[in-house]
Amino acid sequence: MGLITPALGLFFWTLVAFLIVLFILKKFAWKPILKMLNERETGIANSIASAEKVKLEMAEMKAENERLLQDAREERSLMLKEAKETKDRIVNEAKEQAKVEANKIMEDARQQIENKKNAALTEVKNEIGNMAVAVAEKVLRKQLDPAQAQSDYINMLANEIKLN
């Protein structure tokens, strides 16, 4: 049992050495160690607070970016809608203008056809009138006594007119 229980002198000197080391550590090392631990704890707390602050700022920036992105999407949608409306309006205006131009061209063509038709009818009437006058003149110039001879002469002149 001598190995397990230390002698009283060894116990006393170990206790004295421990108390001296404890006193020296308390006098010189304990305050700087506690000060350093407090500074480290304060630094860690400040770092955590800074990290929380940065985290909040990042969340705000993310929300701001989302809002800006949503605004950009809405603006793009609005611009596309306006562009589509403008395109539709321009196409409709072009169609209306084309219809107006087509109707004008058709009306001008009808008018020209009517004018040419009237001119042709007038020319035909004038030609028929001229032919009738020529036939009458020829009939009057030739004073034939027999009615049959006059009828034959008129038929001959009518056949000549048909051939012309």
Residue-wise pLDDT tens digits, 75-96: 999 999 999 999 999 999 999 9
Task: Provide the whole-model pTM.
Answer: 0.41
Residue-wise pLDDT tens digits, 32-86: 888 999 999 999 999 999 999 999 999 999 999 999 999 999 999 999 999 999 9
Domain locations in the chain as residue ranges: 21-123
CA 126 to chain centre: 66
- d(C-alpha 79, C-alpha 85), whole Å: 10
Convert 1-63 into a string of H (helix), E (strand) and C (coil): CCCCCCCHHHHHHHHHHHHHHHHHHHHHHHHHHHHHHHHHHHHHHHHHHHHHHHHHHHHHHHH
